[in-house]
Amino acid sequence: MKSRGRARAYANIALIKYWGKRDEKLVLPMNSSLSLTIDCFYTETEVIFRKDVDRDYFYLNDKLQGKDTTEKVSKFLDLFRKAAGLNLSAVVKSRNYVPTAAGLASSASGFAALAAAANVASGLNLDNRQLSIYARQGSGSAARSIYGGFVEWKKGSSHQDSYAVPIDDAQWDIGIVIVMVNSMEKLISSREGMKRTVDTSPFYKVWVESAEEDLKHIKIAIRNRDFKKTGLIAERNGLKMHAIMLGANPPFCYWEPDSLKVMQIVRQLRREGIYCYFTLDAGPNVKILCRLSESHKIKDRLIQFFDPDQVIIAKPGPGITIL
Ligand code: 2P0
C-alpha cells in the first residue's frame, strides 16, 4: 500500500443538467446529464492514511475544517477504506484554485480530486469508470469531472452502471465565458433544491423525459461538431431546469437581476452574429458557451456592464491528473 496519494480534478459545467435523485444515498440521478470540463477552476487534494492519527483531519485551503465538513470527507473515505480493508485514519489537504473574485467552490472538482487521491493512497487502483462511480457518491456532478472535454453521466439502472463516459475532447474552438454575478453561498443547496423539485414540482415528470430527449440530440450535435445546435439545446435545457424549480412548492429561483442582464446581452450578441448561449446552475452566475476564438469579443461586451474581475474565460479542461 502506498498510503499517500495526490491528485487534481477540474470543475465541469452541465449542458444537459442533472437535477434530481432517484436514490439519495447512492446518488443515482433521475436523468442522464452531459457537461464540459473546464480548465479554470480546479481542486488539488492529498490523502495520507496514517497510523499516528486517531481520526480524520481535513484541511481546505490550509484551514482545518470543522465536524460537519470533515464528516462528509470521512464518510467518503470510508468507501475506500471498506473496499481496501483499511483501518487507518487520514489527513486530507485540499486546495481550490479559483480565479480572483470568483469565490466559487465546486463539489464536482472537490470529490473527483478526493476520489482520485484516495484511490492512490488506499492502493485500490480503480480504473476511471469505477472512480466515476465512487466520485458520484460524494457529489453527483463529480462523476463527470473524472474526464476532460464533453462528458456524459449515464444514469444507469443500478449503482454499478451509473457512471460518466467521455464523449468528445472539445478541441474544436469551444470556450465558456463565466460571469460571476454573485459569489455568495447559495441559500438553497443543490441537494435540498433537487429534493424539493422532485417531491413537489408538477413539471418534474416532463423534465425527465425532455432531458433524455435533449441529451440524445446534443450528442448528435457534438458528434457533428455543430456548435449552434449544441448551444441552442444547452440553453433550452438549462431554462427548463429553472422552470421546474419555479413550479416547486414552495417555489424558488436562483436568478438575480444581473443574471437576466447577462441573458439579454447574450441574445443581443446573437442578433449581431456572435453565436453564444447561456446556462445557469444552482446559483445566479451565468456560463456562456461560445467559440473560444470569440470569447475575448464577448468578454469585451460584458465588461461594459460588469467589473473585468467578474468575467472569466475558460477553455475545455482535462480529466483527473495524478500528481
Ligand atoms: C449539474 N448541478 O448537472 C447540476 C445542474 C447544479 C445544476 O450537479 O447533491 O453538487 O452533491 O449530487 O452535483 C450540482 O449539484 O449535487 C449540480 P449532489 P451536486 O451540474
* pLDDT tens-place string over residues 131-164: 999 999 999 999 999 999 999 999 999 999 999 9
Q: Contact at 8 Å (CB) between 223 and 168?
A: yes
> Rounded to the nearest whole angstrom, what is the distance from the C-alpha of residue 298 to the centroid of ligand 1?
27
Look at residue 26 and tell me whether its pLDDT is greater than 70: yes
How far apart, in whole angstroms, are the C-alpha atoms of residue 143 and residue 151? 10
Q: Is the CB of 18 under 6 A from ligand 1?
A: yes
- Between the alpha carbon of residue 217 and those of residues 36, 93, 224, 226, the distances in Å are 16, 41, 11, 11
**194, 30 contact by CB (below 8 A):** no
Q: Which grid coordinates are listed for 4?
A: 499517500
Give 252 Cα–ligand 1 centroid separation in angstroms: 16
User: Looking at residue 99, what is its pLDDT?
Assistant: 66
Cβ-in-10-Å burial (0-12, 13-18, 19+) of 99 comes to: middle
Distance CA 35, CA 191 (A): 18
**Is 319:12 a contact under the CB 8 Å cutoff?**
no
Residue 182 confidence (pLDDT) above 80: yes
Residue % of the chain over a pLDDT of 70 = 97
Q: Is 240 in the pocket of ligand 1 (CB under 6 A)?
A: no
C-alpha cell at 64: 482545518
Query: Ligand 1 centroid vs 95 CA: distance in angstroms?
Result: 20
pLDDT at 100 over 90: no
- Kindly state the helix (H) or strand (E) to which residue 174 belongs, with its residue range: none
Atom of ligand 1 nearest to the CA of 16: 3
Other C-beta atoms lying within 10 Å of the C-beta of residue 237: 24
Decide whether any atom of ligand 1 lies within 6 Å of the 107 Cβ: yes
Q: What is the mean pLDDT of the chain?
A: 95
Find the mean pLDDT for residues 110-134.
Answer: 97
The pTM for the full model equals 0.96
Q: Determine the pLDDT at residue 267.
A: 98
pLDDT at 29 over 90: yes
Whether residue 153 has its Cβ less than 6 Å from ligand 1: no
User: What ipTM goes with this model?
Assistant: 0.97
pLDDT digits (tens, 9 = 90+) for 301-313: 999 999 999 999 9
- Mean pLDDT over 186-202 rounds to 94
- Residue 70 has a pLDDT of 97
Rg (CA), the chain: 19
Residue 287 scores a pLDDT above 80: yes
Which of 139, 146, 178, 190 should be mutated for ligand 1, with most atoms under 8 A from CB?
190
Which residues in the chain belong to E strands, given as ranges? Answer: 4-16, 21-23, 28-29, 33-50, 57-60, 63-64, 89-97, 150-153, 164-168, 175-179, 276-280, 286-290, 311-314, 321-322
pLDDT band at 2 (very low <50, low <70, confident <90, very high): low
User: pLDDT for 253-268, tens place per residue?
Assistant: 999 999 999 999 999 9
pLDDT tier, 183 (very low <50, low <70, confident <90, very high otherwise) = confident
Q: Is the CB of 234 under 6 A from ligand 1?
A: no
Q: Mean pLDDT over residues 276-291, rounded?
A: 96
Cβ neighbours around 123 below 10 Å, total: 14
Is the beta carbon of 138 within 6 A of some atom in ligand 1? no
Torsion of CA 102, 107, 109, 115, to 10 degrees: 160
Q: Which atom of ligand 1 is nearest to the CA of 17?
A: 3
> 151: Cβ–Cβ under 8 A, 6 or more apart, which residues?
12, 34, 35, 36, 37, 144, 145, 164, 165, 166, 167
CA atoms within 13 A on the CB side of 68: 0
| Domains of the chain: residue spans and CATH | 4-169 (3.30.230.10), 175-314 (3.30.70.890)
**For residue 18, how far is its CA from the centre of ligand 1 (angstroms)?**
6
Q: Is 33 in the pocket of ligand 1 (CB under 6 A)?
A: yes
* Pairing mode, strands 57-60 and 89-97: parallel
pLDDT at 319 over 90: yes
Atom of ligand 1 nearest to the CA of 281: 7
Under 8 Å between Cβ of 276 and 290: yes
Q: For residue 206, how far is its CA from the centre of ligand 1 (angstroms)?
A: 19
Report the pLDDT value the prediction gives residue 1, as an integer from 0 to 100.
55
